[in-house]
Structure 1
Amino acid sequence: MALQLTLKPFERLVINGCVVRNSTRKSTIVIETKADVVRGQDLLSKKAAVTPVNQAYFLVQTALTDPALQDKLRKPIQQQLAALATAFGPPNVHCVFEAANFVSQGDFYKALRALRPLMKREAEILGANVPRPASLRDEMERDGQHVVQEEEPAYRREAG
């Protein structure tokens, strides 16, 4: 079964570890074979991974976006998830077990999806102390990496 994605202008996604960015217009792509796909909005920067759930999410994300590291990261991910299982009770602990099961099966995307409700719950518990994830562009600029300047789309210039 094919995966159809509609991308917003300049939206990024990672397909099997390769970062792809849409151009200036909304477009639709169809992925016809099995591939690991993550939208840019679902990626967490390393600097934002400061809480236990975010750290687990980042490890799973890294395994998903870099298949060469999957075997090496499986044990640290399971250890992080085991620690989370003691921190959460019903009704949230099932998300941890679900994520651990998916990691054991090698389905890292479903493990990410299982952790998202825990990220929300953790943010509720910690309140305003949870840092907001920075965009990949912001992080690259802070780290001094080269970032290609994009022309601002016309619809953004007119709206402002």
Structure 2
Amino acid sequence: MPLRLELRPFEQVMINGVVITNTESRAALLIHNQAQILPGRMVMQEEVTVSPVRRLYFTGQSLFMHWLDEGGRSERYQSFEGQATQLLLLSVDPDFRTTIKEAVSAFAAGNGFHALKRLREMVVAETQAAQAAGTPLPEAFTDGRNQALRKPSDDR
């Protein structure tokens, strides 16, 4: 049975590393084959990878998008695992450490989407903590819609 994706106006989705942008009306896509799919709201742009947590997420995002490429998967996974190990060595927060371990385990088990969901929670928490401390970080994620194409009246 195919996966059905419902897209809002101007919503973006990344499928196997390709960014797809919907037009001005709602649309549905049916995905019939195995694919790595990441909603636009979970896509991080490289220019906002200003912390070790964000760099780990971005590396995980790259690993997830290229998971079906067996040739590059090993190298990307090693990079991800190395960054995760460094964060584990630096962290004293048990919840933080648990989340990192869960993400590494999820990728090792082939469940990269779950790993990214957990890492996204860390990025959001880090952004909120930085804001509360008076040292705001740039927003890591958007609402998943292409802002350049949207008109103010497109908020439906």
TM range (shorter): 0.7 to 0.9
Q: 2-side partners of 1:83 and 1:122: how far apart?
A: 17
Aligned equivalent of 2:22: 22
Say if 1:121 and 1:153 are closer, same or farther in 2 by CA, change over 3 A: closer
Backbone CA RMSD of aligned residues: 2.8
Residue pair 1:99, 1:110 contacting (<8 A) in 2 also: yes
Match of 1:80 among 83, 98, 101: 83
Say if 1:134 and 1:115 are closer, same or farther in 2 by CA, change over 3 A: closer
The TM-score normalised by the length of structure 2 is: 0.78
Q: Which has the higher contact order (CA 8 A, sep 6+)?
A: 2
The DSSP-based 3-state class of the residue aligned with 1:19 is strand
Q: Report the structure, 1 or 2, having the larger helix content.
A: 1
Residue pair 2:24, 2:154 contacting (<8 A) in 1 also: no
Match of 1:114 among 108, 118, 126: 118
The size of the alignment, in residue pairs, is 147
Aligned equivalent of 2:153: 155
Structure 1 portions without partners, runs of 5+: 139-148
Say if 1:12 and 1:156 are closer, same or farther in 2 by CA, change over 3 A: closer
Aligned equivalent of 2:51: 51
Aligned equivalent of 1:65: 65
Structure 2 portions without partners, runs of 5+: none
Residue pair 1:10, 1:24 contacting (<8 A) in 2 also: yes
Aligned equivalent of 1:146: none
Amino acid at match of 2:87: L
Say if 1:57 and 1:134 are closer, same or farther in 2 by CA, change over 3 A: closer
